[in-house]
Amino acid sequence: MTDFNIEKIAAPCAEFGVVLDSEKTEQLNLYGNLLLQWNEKINLTAITAPDDVLYKHFYDCILFLKHIKVPDGAALIDVGTGAGFPGMVLKIVRPDINVTLLDSLKKRLTFLDCVISELCLDGINTVHMRAEDAGRNKEIREKYDIACARAVASLPVLMEYCVPLVKKDGIFVAMKGPSAQDEVSLSANAAKLLGTGKPTIICETLTGNEGRTFVISKKISQTPTKYPRKPSDISKQPL
């Protein structure tokens, strides 16, 4: 069994209030091992070296909690969750929140269901659905305090996928690379049409000098029912 040396990130996480106790450390280690095991069968991640998983997946996701205030018991949806980043990591370190992991690929969700079972997690579920369909689904549209996505699509496209899922006064958080400022400048029209205010942009530096940018948009009004549009329209004519 691989040891991901979670203690290496314990001190910096504690500086912004995330305590990685023995239970959370054990759960992150088990999650990492399941990730590597399943990755031999299905393509979940190109990052497989233990130190890279530790910093580029686990620590990167935990940094979310350094900059975003997540209320106790908040409802969070991770759109295009893939192998569970950041949603699964956030659930492990903040067990009080309610997490939905949304993805269009069933085999990824089968993996995540296995992780949920193995880690005995409550208050977390998977949804097999395309993001644009989720935004039109009455059961989950505008039901979440927070919607987040990590490197799924360009920001104007991502906003049309995610903002319809957020309730008024909730937030949408895009985890982007170092060039996010360019995307933000192109998303002003999307923000206006979808009902969000001017975004807050926070930059971080990960291991290896890699950049991480959090783009945080508060939802100030309900999203018109015509959004999200058809997938072809979203991709061909971004807002």
Residue 197 lies in a domain: yes
Ramachandran class of 158: left when φ > 0, alpha when ψ lies in -120 to 50, beta otherwise: alpha
Burial class (CB in 10 A: 0-12, 13-18, 19+), 46: exposed
Residue 5 lies in a domain: no
What is the reported pLDDT for 182? 84
**Can you give the CATH number for the domain in which 135 is found?**
3.40.50.150
Residue 56 lies in a domain: no
| Residue among 87, 48, 75, 96 at smallest CA distance from 140 | 75
Q: Residues of 110-128 as b/e, b for ≥16 C-beta within 10 angstroms? A: ebbeebbeebebeebebbe
Residue 225 lies in a domain: yes
Residue 172 lies in a domain: yes
Residue 8 lies in a domain: no
Residue 157 vs residues 32, 131, 142, 231: alpha-carbon distances, Å = 30, 11, 18, 10
Number of structural domains in the chain: 1
Query: What's the pTM value of the predicted model, to 2 decimals?
Result: 0.96
173: β partners? 148, 216
State the residue range of the domain holding 84.
71-236
What is the reported pLDDT for 158? 95
For 197, the token pair is: 């205010």
**Which backbone phi and psi does 44 adopt, to 5 degrees?**
-105, -35
Each residue's pLDDT tens digit in the chain (239 positions)? 899 999 999 999 999 999 999 999 999 999 999 999 999 999 999 999 999 999 999 999 999 999 999 999 999 999 999 999 999 999 999 999 999 999 999 999 999 999 999 999 999 999 999 999 999 999 999 999 999 999 778 899 999 999 999 999 999 999 998 878 888 989 999 999 999 999 999 998 877 667 899 999 999 999 999 999 998 899 889 99
